[in-house]
Homo-oligomer: A and B are copies of this chain.
Amino acid sequence: MGSEPLRPPRGTRDFYPEDMRRRSWLFDRFRAVSRGFAFEEVDAPIVEHAELFIRKAGEEIIDQLYHFTLHERELALRGEITPSIARMVIARAGGLKLPLRWFCIGQNWRYERMTRGRTREHYQWNAEILGEPDVTAEAELIAALCALWDALGLPRDAVALRVNSRALLEETLRGGVLRDRPDAFAPLCVVVDKLDKIGAEAVLDQLTDPTGLVALPREDARWVVETLSVKSLDEAAAAAPADSPALASLRRLFELLDAYGIGDRAVFDASVVRGLAYYTGIVFEGFDTRGALRAVCGGGRYDRLIESLGGPAMPAVGFGMGDVVIGELLADHGLLPEPPRGVDDVVVALDEPQRAEAIRVASALRAAGRSVELTLGRARLKRVFAHADRIGATRIVLIGEDEAARGVARIRDLASGEERDEKIR
């Protein structure tokens, strides 16, 4: 076999014990916050029918699908969980009590050109509220995001939220350059989402590309980019219809965030549209305030996705946050934890005749809920002590000839160095 198969496929990660402890630490926090907000965990297959993901708006997520054919079926590794969640809701639409509060911690895949530090898979914490049209749902999700950052120990100003409304943008654009082009709105959002990444000129080129899905005249495209540069809600309000429901909804969201005590963590930003075609209302993203405004999560309202997949009309809102970017953020702040291995006892038989007694002692300690490493094979005491010390065990439990004869184990506390004999049954 060549050497390539001995590495994980490019852009994928092995999780050695120390990586896995960190991942479990993070997932435990995802789950604790989800529990606090009474979200129920769900999961869906990592492989789906490719058609589930296909939308025609030029999204990166579709271009980067891990798409393959197997026994004449078009399949794909999921690039995002939301279509699977939508599929699950549709399959039981009649029997589910709304609103649903679902979360998922799952792996998503995207096949993209590799740059340093990018991965082709990441684990994402997703939370969705399905069946609730009110903006209280958005507020609840944003509060959950803030609770997670707090649970990770991040400083309060390390991550902030930018909030916008596609509905407001759509109202504005349809009062202007998109008057006769309702279909162009979703692909337009996909393009303008790249503003931070590729710059205004490249966005203008894509918006005006005559072979593209938007194909605006240059001056219209320029007006779109200007509209996106608005950074205050009042300024945006001036351009919107006076009785705009989208504007009222945004204002209410900021009031709700104040009630959650997180109003200071969110700002309005008209340039935030998110890159997924299906968002229809409020959209938001968390960004790293030190790291060149790197996005650390994103979400929004997608009131038409479920219907577009053949389900009932069902308002929905959700977010996703990936483990790789969180890991980078924590590392930048020196907050990446090194969770201990958590072994309580190293149990060792000094010689072969005490093996059976050591097994009985280990079994009794395990039955009492302790984490016990039983020394296997031939034990060299010096190595056992060095090992117990290295893994941070609490105690060494020794059974020698003398101890076995007396029906006890010799227990050494590794922090204090104290030793005592104890009957363990």
Contact = CB atoms under 8 A, between A and B. Distances in A.
A327 interface: no
A58 interface: no
A9 B111 contact: no
A147 B92 CA distance: 37
A245 to B, nearest CB: 15
A137 B376 contact: yes
B24 A41 contact: yes
A207 interface: no
A370 B132 CA distance: 23
A70 interface: yes
Interface stretch (A15-23, A191-199, A272-280): A15-23
A154 interface: no
A258 B360 CA distance: 10
A92 B259 contact: no
A47 B371 CA distance: 32
B102 A37 contact: no
A310 interface: yes
Contacts of A293: none
Interface stretch (A71-79, A166-174, A400-408, A417-425): A71-79
A49 B8 CA distance: 7
Contacts of A8: 44-45, 48, 87
A267 interface: no
B374 A52 contact: no
B12 A41 contact: no
B17 A40 contact: yes
A397 to B, nearest CB: 12
A376 B140 contact: yes
A242 interface: no
A9 B49 contact: yes
Interface string A344-360: 00000000000111011
A34 B377 CA distance: 20
Contacts of A385: none
Contact of A37 (B101, B111, B372): B372
A91 interface: yes
Given A99-B377, A377-B134, A366 B51 contact: no
Contacts of A30: none
A6 B371 contact: no
